Amino acid sequence: MAKVITFANVKGGSGKSTLCINMAAILIRAGYSVALVDADQQKCSQDWIAETKDKLLSKVKIIDQVEVGSAKDFDFDFLMIDTQGSLTKEMAQFLLQSSLIITPCRVSRDDLVGQGWIEVFLKQSGQGELKPPILTVLNGVNKRSSILAHVIEQLKDDGIQVANTCISQRVCFAETNVNKISVIGYNKTATNELVDLTNEALNLLKDEV
């Protein structure tokens, strides 16, 4: 039975695909089997995997479609779901099937609002079902910016679970996207951040892993 990690934010450009792809590579390197569903109409993650020459990413299995209620039935350790930036019935089903929801969020009002809609949408879609945890990841940040600490404090005050690991704004993420590879072995600092973030996710799933 797969552990399902869904990447969701209503705001496009928050970094869902980049985190999804690179965390998949980290999990592969750690010895896990990983499959990926690209539910975004643009199919960025699917194309990234399909065109890759990265030895880690080439081991990620692309799943074209997932029937409602069957996401956890795949014979992989992890199923990563990259969603589109809109609230749809498909999105609701993916959220409810998740073991963990990761909401990448840049330090901008639109991203923060998009993150909030995922929280609301999950609550309204659940109908009394057990809700998966949501981990908000501050992505593409300047760690020396005073606004970052303010945003983290505000999110926590609102009862939102924020990852201890923030992902810095780095050119390497754009470069590896263009080259269809992961940042692992390409940029050491970015790799370390993603390892730390993946370990946070695994700790949240430790009762299931």
Written as six digits, the tokens of 33 are: 């089997």
pLDDT tens digit sequence for 16-43: 999 999 999 999 999 999 999 998 888 9
Please state the pTM of the whole predicted model. 0.92
11: which residues sit within 8 A by CB, 6+ positions away? 85, 106, 110, 111, 113, 114, 115
Cα 56 from Cα 53, distance rounded (Å): 9
Q: Using one digit for the tens of pLDDT, what is the confidence trace for 154-176?
A: 999 999 999 999 999 999 999 99
- Give 3-204's CATH code, choosing from 3.40.50.300, 3.40.250.10, 2.40.37.10, 3.10.350.10: 3.40.50.300
* Per-residue tokens: 146: 């005073």
Q: Where are the domains of the chain?
A: 3-204
Q: By C-alpha distance, which of 53, 20, 54 is closest to 37?
A: 20
Q: How many CB atoms lie within 10 A of CB 120?
A: 11
